Amino acid sequence: MFYIESVGGLPKEKLSKAWTHTLSVFGLLAAIVTIVSFLGYHPSREPAPKQPASQPQVKAPSKEEPRDNPAPTATDFKPPKPNHTGTIHLEGGFPPGQPMLTTDAVQAGEQTAPLALTDSRTSRSESVSEVLSPLPIGTKHPVALWRKGTRFVKGIHFSSPSSHLHLAGAGLPGVDIPTDADGRIQTNLVWPLDRIFTEVDYVGPVEISGLALDGGLSFGDPDSAESGKTLPARFSIDVPRPGEILGASRGDFTYPSPSDARWVRVEALSQSGGATATWSASIDSSGSASIRDPRTDLFSGELAGLRILYSKSGT
């Protein structure tokens, strides 16, 4: 028999309840241990993986800490800094014009007049008003038509109120074509396809990218007999201003395919018309040419005009 006596004056009933609660707690703990063991949980006996030895941290050099300076090489050369004057930019092209056929013979004249033409591709007849025909043209003769408002060069602005283009070629009379201030022709122009002009001259003064050029801008070669070859169908060019690096010049040109070796040559002109700087590139068999100049010296000459030549030589 197990008897509970009074302890310290406590009644037997209170001692009995304390023992009952204590036994209940121990019983609950034993049940938890039994369940965990039944589920098969066992602490891993494998040794914990060894941690790699810590690597010494290398402090990145700060801007305040000078690095070792190796000996300079040829690739470390830095060109002289320009005066940040930038370049002037031009783009555009001289498309061959709309191919047409004359209905009747056309007399040359400096006055505009209506003209009956037939589209070579669609055979559709059209009466075109205000046509300028600088050369005499026979009946049913193939001609090129440039319509009023055509602009060959973007980025140019005429400073003179009498703005015009001057067209020329070997054995051809020089012809002035009126334009607006941005170079859009102000009349319909007809020209025989077998005698296309070989030079287009934007008579100065003109303004390009905010720079005034009294000498104007010209394309092609007035003495060339290569009709239809001397003017780029498309072009984009940047020319350095005086004080800029010569190598800032970049140009891409597309010409009709040349029959022989040809070059595009870009010349910066002085007030007297002499070349103060030159850039050139060969025209490949497909008619493409790209100017990429590696020079790092500064353009120190005048820039009073520009001439973009179609030439048999790059110099």
The mean pLDDT of 249-265, rounded to a whole number, is: 95
Quick check: is 169 in a domain? yes
pLDDT of residue 145: 97
pLDDT band at 169 (very low <50, low <70, confident <90, very high): very high
pLDDT of residue 292: 95
The number of CA neighbours under 13 Å toward the Cβ of 267 is 22
Quick check: is 286 in a domain? yes
Quick check: is 44 in a domain? no
The mean pLDDT of 119-127, rounded to a whole number, is: 92
> Per DSSP, what are the bridge partners of residue 208?
156, 211
Nearest to 196 by CA among 151, 144, 150: 144
pLDDT of residue 3: 44
Quick check: is 153 in a domain? yes
Quick check: is 190 in a domain? yes
On whether the CB atoms of residues 219 and 231 are closer than 8 A, the answer is: yes
Q: How far apart are CA 303 and CA 273, in angstroms?
A: 10
Quick check: is 18 in a domain? no
How many folded domains does the chain comprise? 1
Backbone angles phi, psi at 76, to 5 degrees: -85, 0
CA distances from residue 109 to 93, 105, 185, 298 in whole angstroms, order as listed? 27, 13, 17, 48
Quick check: is 24 in a domain? no
What's CA 205's distance to the chain center, in Å?
A: 28
> Per DSSP, what are the bridge partners of residue 302?
none
Quick check: is 181 in a domain? yes
Q: Is residue 168 scored above 80 in pLDDT? A: yes
CA distances from residue 113 to 98, 100, 106, 143 in whole angstroms, order as listed? 18, 17, 10, 16
**Domain of residue 217, residue span:** 87-96+147-311
On whether the CB atoms of residues 152 and 89 are closer than 8 A, the answer is: no
Nearest to 190 by CA among 237, 143, 260: 143
Range scoring the smallest mean pLDDT among 56-65, 182-191, 193-202: 56-65
CA distances from residue 254 to 105, 184, 237, 284 in whole angstroms, order as listed? 34, 22, 12, 10
Q: How far apart are CA 238 and CA 242, in angstroms?
A: 13
pLDDT of residue 50: 56
Q: What is the pLDDT of residues 46-58, one digit of tens each?
A: 455 555 555 555 5
Q: What is the pLDDT of residues 30-47, one digit of tens each?
A: 666 556 555 555 554 545
Looking at the chain, the whole-number percentage of residues with pLDDT higher than 90 is 66
pLDDT band at 314 (very low <50, low <70, confident <90, very high): confident
On whether the CB atoms of residues 283 and 263 are closer than 8 A, the answer is: yes
Sign of the CA dihedral with 185 first, then 220, 161, and 89 last: positive
207, two tokens: 């303004």
pLDDT band at 4 (very low <50, low <70, confident <90, very high): very low
- In terms of phi and psi (left: phi > 0; alpha: psi -120 to 50; beta: otherwise), the region of 64 is alpha
Q: Is residue 213 scored above 90 in pLDDT? A: yes
User: If you write DSSP's letter for every residue of 64-75 in order, what string do you get?
Assistant: TSPPP-PPP-GG
